[in-house]
Structure 1
Amino acid sequence: MAAMTLCALLAAACGPTSTPVDPPSTVAVPGAPEGPADEPSVDGGDTTAAAPADAPPEPAPATPAPADAAPATPTDGAPPPAATPTADAAPPAPTPIDADGPLASACRPLLQPTIPARVIEVDAQAGAELSGAVLEHLAGQLRQVADTPGGVTVDASGRIDGDVREWTLGDIRAVEAASRSIPQTSDTAVVHVVALRGQPDQSDPGIASSIGIAFGATSFVVFPDRVDDLALLLGGADAILRAVVVHELGHLLCLVNLSYDSEIDHEDPEHPGHSRDDTSVMFHAIETTAIGQLFQGAPPSTFGDADLADLEGLRTGRY
């Protein structure tokens, strides 16, 4: 089912201490752009003619300008030549991430140091808030795999209005876009997490069993209500949510084989975009309610060795 989720999304699309920003306004849940050339000598002899006696003396030849003199300003209306940039000219600022781009389109700037800082922005409905332990685990995993000289911080101050409901993918996209408050800039890349009450649209087989869904360049949603029935079996709600949020982060970071071809054969052919290693957080069941059927105790919540190797390849430009 997770494979269907990922395929549907792809088709639709193609540190330690939080540094809060001013809290955004509460977001309402949406309803369901020089002269002519000398004449040649005709006789082949001396071409220097004698000047008449009463002719005025010829003007002295102009003194040539020194070799290093500045070029004269053109007088024919043409613009002066452009200055040659010096070797130490500042490079252009990097292009900010397009938060509305397709899934996995921002993994390289998220992993590489060109944009120095990362912020994880979290907006939640009342009752769907993610715990500090879950968010710190998410930030820690991003710190581990990304080159972030400016650090990783979390801002969980955002609130979303609305009640428990079923959410279509269109609804999810709309509320995520409306709730963003921290912009993508040349200095800061933002991962946006939306936590909603209820469940995804049960009439959509692509998302019906999902606990989390990565659906954009930098955004994903989680449904904390969906883990309530699994909590006792799998080590508690936080144990499950730690796994789910890191799994969705992995998709934003291009795992597995999203926009690259891994040198390691670890993708599950039956669940594209996922690892076949059930000790990896990128195992397909992690993001769906099938997690309760395939695990006993806390599910894996960290990247596997093959995942880490792929992320290093993306971070260093090998992929």
Structure 2
Amino acid sequence: MGRIRLLAWWVQMGSVLLFAVSCMVDRDRITEDPFLGEPAARRAVGQLANQLLSADRFTRLEIEVVYMEGFRPTNQMLGEMVSFLETYTHKPDGVIFREREIPALGQQSYTVQELLALEREHRQRYNERNILTVFLLVVDGYFSRDDEDTFALGAAYQSTSMVLFGRRIVENSGIIRRPGRALLESTIVLHELGHLMGLVNNGTDMVEDHEDEENHFHCDNSSCLMFWAVETHRVLGMVNATIPPLDVKCRNDLRANGGR
């Protein structure tokens, strides 16, 4: 009889322990924040659009700028980024920059995998507490996907990650019938910021249909900052004295997803 009572006690205690462990696991799952740290940064472009736009989760924005020697972004570009972010995002605790130079590698071009490897090596800041961090990498070469007819000047490649192809920008600015370097790189970086904000229809839903049917995730308005040609060589014929603005449909999308 004593053995039966002891066995029953162990069964009861085992059930209690199993319930306790189960509760601990559930609590961990509940409190784990999917928007913090390196895992959040590895999500796809547009997947943190609401967190970037609104102040619901993050009230401060940091831009970590890592550039290869000889390719520091212009002060004008940094200023345009601040103005753009203050116009379209809710970040009451402000926007700040952290800059750092790294050695130029002298490569002709960079693949996406090489860009990811560079970010893993050099990125120091990730989302924490109330701070969302955007990573901007400026490299000394071209994009590996370029061909004879088309080349890229920049790209958004993860949820909070962008790249500028510095050599390509320098070679195609400041000459006759081409925009100045500051204007060109500002236009490109704001276009890529728009992608991180979920434009077009890639993390931020459309209030009114305006996605380019042939060039997904871009606006069908050729005068809009989010027109597909802006991030390619075709932008050289589009930019004159000013950066193309976001059109009203893109602005409405951002506002509906927590932006200004």
**Alpha-carbon distance, 1:299 to partner:** 5.6
Say if 1:189 and 1:261 are closer, same or farther in 2 by CA, change over 3 A: closer
Query: Which residue of 2 is the match for residue 213 of structure 1?
Result: 155
After superposition, where does 1:39-54 map in structure 2 within 5 Å? none
Change over 3 Å in CA distance of 1:155–1:283 after alignment to 2: same
Measured on the aligned residues, the alpha-carbon RMSD in Å equals 2.5
TM-score (structure 2 length as normaliser): 0.79
Q: Residues of 2 paired with 1:282 and 1:175: CA distance? A: 27
- Cross-structure match for 2:258: 315
Counterpart for residue 266 of structure 1: 210
Deviation at 1:225, TM superposition (A): 1.7
Once the two structures are superposed, residues 90-142 of structure 1 have per-residue CA deviations (whole angstroms, 9 ceiling, x without a partner) of xx796534011111111111111121110011000011110111011012111
Q: 1:140 to 1:193 in 2, by over 3 A?
A: same
* Cα pair distance change 1:261/1:189, threshold 3 Å: closer
Quick one: which of 178, 201, 207 aligns to 1:257?
Answer: 201
Question: C-alpha distance in 1, partners of 2:50/2:205?
Answer: 14
**What CA distance in whole angstroms lies between the structure 2 residues aligned with 1:278 and 1:163?**
35
User: Secondary structure of the residue that 2:62 maps to in structure 1?
Assistant: strand
Residue 164 of structure 2: aligned partner: 222
Match of 2:35 among 65, 85, 96: 96
**What amino acid is aligned across from residue 220 of structure 1 in structure 2?**
M
Deviations 1:16-37 (A, max 9, x none): xxxxxxxxxxxxxxxxxxxxxx
In structure 1, the partner of 2:122 is 179
Q: CA deviation at 1:160?
A: 4.2
1:33 equivalent in structure 2: none
Of 142, 145, 155, which residue of structure 2 is paired with 1:199? 142
Partner of 1:278: 222
Distance 1:222 1:214 in 2: 9
Tell me how far 1:281 sits from its aligned partner: 1.1
- Structure 2 contact 104–140 (Cα < 8 Å) conserved: no
**Distance in 2 separating the partners of 1:299 and 1:264:** 26
Q: CA deviation at 1:230?
A: 4.0
Q: Return the TM-score normalized by structure 1.
A: 0.65
- For the pair shown, the structure with the greater C-alpha radius of gyration is 1
Q: Percent identity?
A: 23
Question: Structure 2: which amino acid aligns with 1:96?
Answer: F
Confirm or deny that 1:132 pairs with 2:72: no
Instruction: Using the TM superposition, give the Cα deviation of residue 278 of structure 1 relative to its aligned residue in structure 2, in angstroms.
Output: 2.4
Matched positions, count? 228
Change (3 A) 1:191 1:165: same
Assess if the C-alpha contact under 8 Å between 1:280 and 1:300 holds in 2: no
- Superposed CA deviations along residues 225-278 of structure 1, whole A, max 9, x for unmatched, are 213234332331111111000000000110001034412232211211111222
Cα distance in structure 2, aligned partners of 1:160 and 1:302:
34
Native 8 Å contact 2:197 2:204 kept in 1: no
Task: Find the aligned partners of 1:248 and 1:177 in 2 and give their Cα distance.
Answer: 20
Structure 2 unaligned blocks of 5 or more: 1-11, 18-30
Partner residue, 1:170: 113
Shift in alpha-carbon separation, 1:188–1:167, aligned structure 2, 3 A: same
In the TM superposition, residue 161 of structure 1 has moved relative to its aligned partner by: 4.1
Q: 1:128 to 1:270 in 2, by over 3 A?
A: same
- Extract unaligned runs of 5+ from structure 1: 1-75, 80-91
Whether contact under 8 Å (2:207, 2:252) holds in the other structure is no
More helix by share: 2
CA contact (8 A) 2:194 2:226 kept: yes
Which residue in 2 is equivalent to 1:69? none
Matches within 5 A, 1:37-186: 95-97=34-36, 98-113=40-55, 114-186=57-129
CA distance in 2, matches of 1:260, 1:162: 36
- Residue 191 of structure 2 aligns with which residue? 247
Q: How many Å separate the matches in 1 of 2:96 and 2:224?
A: 25
Deviation string, structure 1 residues 187-240 (Cα, Å, up to 9, x no partner): 2100100000111115x66xx611001000100100122132343323311111
